[in-house]
Amino acid sequence: MGDWSAQELEALPTRFRGNLINGIAGFKPALLVGTADAQGQTNLALFSSVFHIGASPPLLGLIVRPCPEGTERHTLDNILATGVFTLNHITEPMVPAAHQTSARYARSQSEFSATELTEEWIADFPAPAVQQSTVKLGLSLIEHQVLAVNQTHLLIAGVQWLRCPDSGIREDGSVNLVELNSQAVCGLDSYHGATEGRRFIYAKADRPPQAIR
Amino acid sequence: MGDWSAQELEALPTRFRGNLINGIAGFKPALLVGTADAQGQTNLALFSSVFHIGASPPLLGLIVRPCPEGTERHTLDNILATGVFTLNHITEPMVPAAHQTSARYARSQSEFSATELTEEWIADFPAPAVQQSTVKLGLSLIEHQVLAVNQTHLLIAGVQWLRCPDSGIREDGSVNLVELNSQAVCGLDSYHGATEGRRFIYAKADRPPQAIR
């Protein structure tokens, strides 16, 4: 049994601790964040730190790592400059190209052109979506915080538009991520599909859990 | 193709929009949050809004929905009162009981006693873990914010201890969530295991993506 205290975690080799802590809180969504700078130079980056904040209005959060001196954060710079970004689901065939976007490309090189992923411009929204993705969302920045605890950036954004194939949405509005072939991430480098799964009706204290058939 | 603008999303029936937005950003981790109040009354609740903030020091974030007048948030109250909580992985056999913890039990009734899940007290940490879980973490609250945008609570917490079976941790520290049988959540009610998955080496701009064999 692996058993670590806070002190023991702090004493682990950096890489080991990074792998451990990035994976230990469970599965994460695999998403591509599409942005452009004020001149229209595009950027595409893999993120697994998107989370739900609210449904009415529809709000999502995104964590962006701090920028140690000398490093560039193209995605963050672009979002702060333009106020918008897209989120795009990664399907199983897209995984190698999606992973490749995490490489450190020069600011002048778009990850779209470096991979086989294709820009898709939706209406006049000023950030590119990914043509190959099933689900695409356009978001606008509402709040930007630098968290005091470790200088990580927290972005809160509102959904401006949302596209999803009909086959991925059930009658009750719930999303069928298995049908959409959307991937989950574990840690920094492991991509997974999901098994069929089980749904349950709304839980109430006076009745046992009941699966939806 | 489902295609919604912000205005069209706002006009959707509440339940449909809730299902859609809760599922549209991809897979989420399935975790049980264990807490106790100052008198030792325990509580256990399902959360899918935990996210990675940093590895050094190890920090996780948790979103807790706002408390409309007349509703109680036992988990939030307990964390704010004691400053600690546990996170516990949900494995496939635990899913029905874990889902049942989302029912609205009275403050005086512990979800542990209402389900077949068992309290486990680790050292003198003042929040209960779940005996049946494979991975267990103890966390202490570092920061509490009420987000201005929708009165949702953001909790930032540090990992105080971490337990994980050896079989779930590779030599490089990465976590094997498939081996651990950890579940992912889609939306509000759908629980999934993961397929074997593919790992890739660290991406660099001057070489193509390369799977780890």
User: ipTM of this predicted complex?
Assistant: 0.96
Of B25, B165, B200, the CB nearest to A52: B25
> With an 8 Å Cβ cutoff, are A2 and B203 in contact?
no
Residue B184 near chain A (CB below 8 Å): yes
SS3 category, A73: coil
Vertex A170 angle, CA A165 and A175, to 5°? 65
**Beta strand extents in chain A (DSSP E only):** 2-5, 28-29, 31-36, 42-47, 50-55, 58-64, 84-89, 119-120, 129-130, 136-146, 153-164, 184-186, 190-192, 198-199
What are the pLDDT digits (tens) for B131-182? 999 999 999 999 999 999 999 999 999 999 999 999 999 999 999 999 999 9
Q: Is B184 in Cβ contact with A191 (below 8 Å)?
A: no
CB A200 within 8 A of CB B99: yes
Q: Hey, what domains does chain A have and what are their CATH numbers?
A: 26-192 (2.30.110.10)
Strand partners, B140: B84, B158
pLDDT for A70: 74
pLDDT-derived band at B68 (thresholds 50, 70, 90) equals confident
Interchain contact A141–B (C-beta under 8 A) = no
In chain A, what residues touch B13 (CB-CB under 8 Å)? 173
Q: Which has the closest alpha carbon to A155: B132, B147, B179, B210?
A: B147
Whether B5 and A160 lie within 8 Å, measured CB to CB: yes
Read off the tokens for A208.
């046992």
Please name the helix (run of DSSP H) or strand (run of DSSP E) that holds residue B77, with its range, or none.
helix B74-82
Q: Where are the alpha helices (DSSP H) in chain A?
A: 6-10, 14-24, 74-82, 95-100, 111-114
* Token code pair at residue A14: 């950096």
pLDDT of residue A66: 86
Q: In the prediction, which pLDDT does B67 show?
A: 78
Mutation choice for B interface testing from A1, A52, A162 by most B CBs within 10 A? A52
Measure the CA–CA gap between B164 and B180, rounded to whole angstroms: 9
Chain A CB contacts of B12 under 8 Å are 173
Whole-number pLDDT of residue A182: 98
**pLDDT band per the 50, 70, 90 thresholds, residue B69:** confident
B33, two tokens: 């949050």
pLDDT score, position A213: 77
- pLDDT tens digits, residue range A32-73? 999 999 999 999 999 999 999 999 999 999 999 987 777 789
- Strand (E) positions, B90-189? 119-120, 129-130, 136-146, 153-164, 184-186
Q: How far apart are CA A6 and CA A15, in angstroms?
A: 16
Residue B99: band (very low, low, confident or very high) from pLDDT cuts 50, 70, 90? very high
Give the model's pLDDT for residue B57: 96
Instruction: List CB contacts (< 8 A) between A2 and chain B.
Output: 162-166, 168-169
Any bridge partners for residue B152, and if so which? none
Nearest CA in chain B to A45: B203
Contact B100 A208 (CB under 8 A): yes
**Closest chain B residue to the Cα of A26, Cα to Cα:** B29
Q: What is the pLDDT of residue B72?
A: 84
Distance from CA of B40 to the nearest CA of A (A): 21
The conformational region for residue A157 under phi > 0 = left, psi -120 to 50 = alpha, else beta, is: beta
Which residues 191-210 in chain A show a CB within 8 A of chain B? 191-205, 208-209
Kind and range of the H or E run holding B86? strand B84-89
Report the pLDDT value the prediction gives residue A123, as an integer from 0 to 100: 93
